[in-house]
Chains A and B, each alone.
Chain A
Amino acid sequence: MGPPVPESRTWVNPPKHLSTEWLSAYLDGVISPQEGDVPPAAEAHLQNCPRCADDLAGLDAVRTLLRRLPQHAPPRSFALQDIPEPRQVGIFRLPRMVAWTRAASAVAAAVFVLCLSLDLLGVGDDVAAPSAVQNRIAAPTVAPASVKAAAPAVAPGPQAATAVIFPPSVAAGDRDRGGLESAGSAETKIGTLSATPANPVADVIPTYRPLRLASIVAGILALLFLSAALFSGRRAAT
């Protein structure tokens, strides 16, 4: 119960009469000992004070009228099968679809961030190293060209990350293994890859490192699930 407000007092002074709030509560039989006055004194007052008796009678009359207001029958049933059909899409209930697409986009986004950061940290280098070495033979002069050619084909991969494949030290160390020939083949490989990924040249595959590939796939999935979640969320809200 809140702090007492002036009107919640039993007595209104001056002159000494019962407050409307007290009378209203008295009418409902909810006067409690905490009200600050014992009912006998108030009841004795009601017997002798025409003003308070009238006040109470008026409140009682109003309450009686309100209690007798007609109750109207609802114009129709509000049971939930009356919801328009668009809320159901086949066996996929929309609210459920919103939930799972949201969850799926969150998971895919997490995988995307994880794979991309592992990739950027160079975790995948060890795995990719044996075959990637062949690409690293590319001389520093050729390297920037390869990077440029590779970047658009690989799509959202940051260029800075792609450049890590060609550390100048490694490239310089490998130069005596016939840089010119390898440089040429590296360029062809990248060229063929972007054109026809199904090229049977075996050592082309490691050019795409698994982590980067995974992060790209996860990123695309995250975007797809997110748009599905937004779409179904809007459908469910209407």
Chain B
Amino acid sequence: MSPAADPSAAEDRAVEAARGGDVAAFNQLVQQYQGIVYNVALRTLGNGEDAADVAQDTFISAFRAIREFRGGSVKAWLLRITVNASYDLLRRRKRRPASSLDALAEAEDGELGVVDRTRGPDAAALGAETARVIQQALATLPDEQRTLVVLCDVQGLSYEEAAATAQVALGTVKSRLSRARARLRDYLAERGELPGGLRRPS
């Protein structure tokens, strides 16, 4: 394989150039990852405006801190910044009375603009009503569980990538993900969004 055809080699070169202050090279990384960064923030925060702010902050912080990037997965590094910035925003939001964590649920019909159906693990996207209920369900999860379910199930990251992003052990990914899925299952089954009878017997 020639170096030009290897995406990870191209990524390494972009990181190296960005370290030297090359904004254009860094923007190749922005181009590549802005979709997943925005969508992780969107599912974490439930609000398109906040997600766009967090995504922009993510890339500004990343460019400033690129010298501290120690190699490894650029995606996990960027998403780690995204998740931390989202947590910061959630904490600030908790101090304010009004919560907009499920604003996305109301806006799921397309107010957020184009729904990009070509991305994501499963191209056959859900109907707006189901997507709305799922976003509401995500909003009920504890932050650390929501993060892992967003990374692994919504964005299709491997356990290893999710562990690197959330900076937790693989075992923690496994247990938080299973608890998040179980909670979502109960929430969705109560609202008739799961195929009949799919609830853990009590």
Contact residues in A for B179 (Cβ distance below 8 Å) = 7, 20-21
- Segment 51-71 of B: residues with Cβ below 8 Å from A: 52, 55-56, 58-60, 63-64
Contact B178 A21 (CB under 8 A): yes
- Contact partner of B198 (CB less than 8 A), chosen from A7, A8, A57, A69, is A57
Indicate whether B13 reaches chain A with its CB closer than 8 angstroms: no
Which residues of chain B from 79 to 106 have a CB within 8 Å of any chain A CB? none
Number of A interface residues, CB 8 Å?
44
Instruction: Mark each residue of chain A from 45 to 87: 1 if its CB lies under 8 Å from any CB of chain B, else 0.
Output: 0000001001101110111111111111111111111110000
Q: Are A72 and B113 in contact (CB under 8 A)?
A: yes
Cβ of B188 within 8 Å of any chain A Cβ, yes or no, is yes
| CB-based contact A20/B178 at 8 Å | yes
What's the minimum C-beta distance from A154 to chain B, rounded to whole angstroms? 44
The yes or no answer to A95 lying at the interface (CB within 8 A) is: yes
| B195 close to A66 (CB less than 8 A) | no
Q: Which residues of A contact B52 (CB under 8 A)?
A: 74-76, 78
Instruction: For the complex, count residues of B whose C-beta is within 8 A of A.
Output: 69
Q: Chain B: which residue is nearest A51 at the CB level? A: B201
Given contacts A24-B181, A59-B185, A66-B154, contact A74 B38 (CB under 8 A): yes
Contact pattern, B 178-193, Cβ under 8 Å of A = 1, otherwise 0: 1101101100110001
Secondary structure at the A interface, as helix, strand, loop or mixed, is helix
Binding site for B on A (CB under 8 A): 1-2, 4-5, 7-8, 20-21, 23-25, 28, 30, 51, 54-55, 57-59, 61-83, 93, 95
Interface residues of B (CB under 8 A from A): 21, 23, 26-27, 30-31, 34-35, 37-39, 42-43, 48, 52, 55-56, 58-60, 63-64, 108, 112-117, 119-122, 124-126, 130-131, 134-135, 149, 152-154, 156, 159, 169-172, 174-175, 177-179, 181-182, 184-185, 188-189, 193-195, 197-201
11 contacting pairs across A/B (C-beta < 8 A): A8-B171, A61-B194, A61-B195, A65-B134, A65-B194, A71-B39, A72-B38, A73-B116, A74-B38, A75-B48, A80-B63
Given A58-B189, A68-B120, A70-B131, 12 more pairs with CB closer than 8 A: A2-B169, A5-B171, A54-B197, A59-B178, A59-B181, A64-B122, A67-B153, A68-B126, A72-B39, A73-B114, A73-B115, A81-B27
